[in-house]
Structure 1
């Protein structure tokens, strides 16, 4: 199997990178070695300079002593006359009887350096020596003897690293020339002015310099290591950029192979002049049923129904530029079946030919789904109409059934008219059942808030919610262990959860995590004031959080607007979150959104915490109303229903106060507050509805 261009490039690039790193490493090693040696040479040179300075100091010190003919000092136990000094008046006695001896410059210099040696563990050693020495102390060692012989050959200075008493030293030696003042003590040896009388060696300890050198070399090693790492990192970064650039080139070269050969949708290239297929991908072969050779012997007219060929040719003749073209066409497969395909094409140069590259997306199923969607929308519209009709028709039926019951109650069991009343009631009940079916279809049932455990609702619908999301989305629930009883309609809360989960699913096209959590929290007056309704106190906070794309501030401000959506055309109605907002408002709750681009979205919904135990609500609802003489305030805008209700209640002994709308109901209640025992309010009324009136 031949290597792919990408693999060949990868191997070649790795080789170049390794060569660059190797070259950089060699450069760093050479630099480190050179600087290492320079550091050593510099420290040796420092020691050599110190030795030269001490040599100059010694010469000047001797010159001073020579100019003055030496120094007379008292004779002591530690300083006796120099037996090797043969000059007149070597020893003298002062007028007071004090004995003095002459210390010549050589002896003076030696004693000074001996004093220095005693005060230092690693002293600088100065030694005056000669091949023609008088004092055995001035006898040269082997190194000094070699140097003295070199001086006789004209060498001006000799230096080297050596060891003295197991310690490294830098030794330097220069010739000591005879001056006029020197003849006083050494004239008898036959020296003349300008003769090499000997030499002075200065030995400087190298240990302090080597210690300093070790520190400098450590710094060099660390700096070069860091520089090597930085350079290597730079090479890797540079190579990565090169790799990215080269990959772009390789990917550009392989785009045809990647998009064409590996595309799951049928693709082909045809000659614009002859309409003949030049190449096709495997998806085209598999989808249309023709072999590759069959395709290459055909033209694009061969896959179109005969009645569509003329429009096809007209469309092809308009292809004069490299602009993208798109459209939906009918194609015929090898088995004769017709399919609808969405065509996207672009003019290209294919081997010197002007050709068209085509991507064909089979939209047959999509068109069927669109038909189903249109049907669903039509049924939704029918449902809305049915709901409205059923609501009005239900009011009429209520009056018919009510008056039919009253009529039946007034008739004796043997009255022949009673059978007519029973027929009216039976037929009306059948009509009521039909009305209820219409209301169920249109989802227009009256909201029935009951004390419910919010956690229980979440756990009950968790399996359903998992079916709404994809496998690449993880659903987590983090529910509080406290009491989460709220006054709510379970159907609406379930609908709210499904809408939020669906919205979160669509916000995570590449998968992610969806978390539903609950917690008990207290809302203060400032929070409630900001929303303009509700009461401060304990609330159950329900949070639905996703790790999706998030949204910006402008989008966040409009997400609850009806028909506002950020989805593609046909992917959403824009009513999902608007419905959620309506449900939350209907439950006297609050909803808040936290989101930022790339940071996901969190919906926080606050439901007032109910003090009623949900387990006792059923028993509370089962209690029977007592009495038969209480006063009931009835508010109903439909005159027929209003009169029927008054008649039924009056029939059972109740005192009835009637109002035709919410405003009148509030006014009458204010006038009859003390004697009103029960309020019976229609939900929808003019001027003020039943909920607002209550």
Structure 2
């Protein structure tokens, strides 16, 4: 305990009486105030004489006195103590103060000296901060921008109202959960890549990406913040659709211009030539019948061109883009209804549903109906004598597969290749009709279309629509983050042949291909491997959207990493095989590549290299 003697009196006078903060000394036994400085007198409104008649309990509101006596043992010991209290002035003003006290021997009395610092400024600042936070929260909860906040473990710590409406999950369904568990549908997409780079590199990323579960385009900004990452995003789907519509109109005008400048020229030139012969009286009487036949032929040809122009100009399907609205509906009832309606139109064939899954689906009812009608019309057209068209739905790895099978003439390899390239054309296809448009409908659902055909036996057109976790939530109101399933890849290193054995499984798309290829690169570096057996035997459907990325991005990097020999095993799926053929035909690097029908032949070839 500090003993105040005469030698200390001068220092006490300066530190106590001249201190700008309120101070007093109290008897730890009686709690009576023994000394007080001028700052305390001014702040509390008592005279010095009044102060010296009071105890420290007299400075407190009546309701706080019991608490004072509870903690009295801790503040009357021989240690320095500090705590926040409420005090009252002489005039009843409530003060919030931070008290620091330490033991002292004051004139032979066991005492404590008290230093009282006002918390008004701190509380005012805290109040302003709280008001600012409340205003900010109000703004965040009422803006059209989606906001979410993540900690370093990717746990969702904030999710505003617009995020609820734009993404589809209510706040209570996602708070405290891992982002990648809530939204596995965006793994390996630009969302995933940019969020990860922003978190790891601690830098801002602005980007645009497509969120397929709700079929919306988002403009995103991801930027690092204390404790993790903040993301805000807005819906720019209307703007993207306007851009697409403009580009599609340009394509449409180009097609019409081509028809006007090329297709019209031939019959018109022929008609002009024939009429000039007649005008010049260069046609004999016996030749008029032949001339009339030629005029009729040219007129019919011209009529077909004019009809084609009119179709492109006035065809409602061609002129108007697809409705982007998506909804929850009973797929079984939907399919049955569409097929029943079409059966009344197509009396030449029996439309048979061989299997129909019971499923509440979330997607574009209009888009799928357009696809179904076109494929059934097409099946009837190319199987005039068959009498039946078969429709089937099934679930494969949580993908809804809709197949239309005809028993018509079928297609050879060349025809399938032409269709493959036609379906996967790079131009915009929301307008118009046909297989490219159906592929666009599938793509919006994160799916695709593929065809299997045998000459003389018919064709099967299949559409894939992945099921999302969000779709399950929309259908049931319950969160089940296990519905969506990404395709898998198995990669092992075989020491006996010193090569990577890569086995792709199930359906693939650009995102899964990017992930798998990047994992292959990591394994190549780990084992210093120069040879890969890339087995697609278990791949379903096609993956054309990834081909250009493989050719232009991955294969050059793989070559730089050291890849010298690549044996590629075809998938039994025709469109997967055609995707492989396209990829290998476009690559012009120095990697030695070769495709095979089976893994044994591919491995034998690698052993010889």
Tell me the TM-score normalised to structure 2 length.
0.29
Higher strand share: 2
Rg comparison, structure with higher value: 1
TM-score normalized by structure 1?
0.26
